[in-house]
Structure 1
């Protein structure tokens, strides 16, 4: 079975030695992610669907995406995207290029996400204060942002 098409800024931080994060590399990873989304939508068949999968780090966003069937008409954008302002650019790109855009929020308790994060390989562990900061600023996605549909999934208790 083919994997779903996914754009994740973290993928652009990967090196042969593992994931390397700096402010500059992170900014470039986001620029490349937005460009990859635009390119994918420009080259895609009609009736494309972008699914923005958001939630705190360690919520199991990538795991949820991996459980979805691959579809040539669906692109998953996998990132924390805690606030309306963080999701706006993905929504704007999708709408401008004629795609529907949906939100999937993986709602996971902070303690569960921190525990999952600690089990990651060392180069993929997110500092706990960063997870707490994202959790504190997280705004539930809504249709008012421009989403055609919003779904919430329980990320585990």
Structure 2
């Protein structure tokens, strides 16, 4: 558990459990045009996964989900409630998951991001991620499809 301070408002990052999946789903549904289902979120609580939430008081404001297989960590989702965006919470979640990956002897953190998600790509680039590939037409849009940008961070 990490106590964090941003703009004089205390935030805390802590591990989540499957009981937190409904609150995660509420945030996921507000943020993503094609959110993960509640069942998919609940499936992310096995031994290969680390799920962290960032809280102010007892309110879940965001979360991250990673899967680690041997020495490779894949960031599956990082999501901050719209009302809490712009306060650096995504950066705090990303910094924490990278630190945990290092402790768990990972050599790389991998992710994919929508090509239109410039804010997320900027966050990842600032943390040292580099583009490693593309998946053409991977993500659905209301009127078509868009590419997924693959990014890696060597640890």
The TM tier, using the shorter chain, reads 0.3 to 0.5
**Relative contact order higher in (CA < 8 Å, ≥ 6 apart):** 1
Q: TM-score, normalised by structure 1?
A: 0.34
Considering fraction of residues, name the structure with more helix. Answer: 1
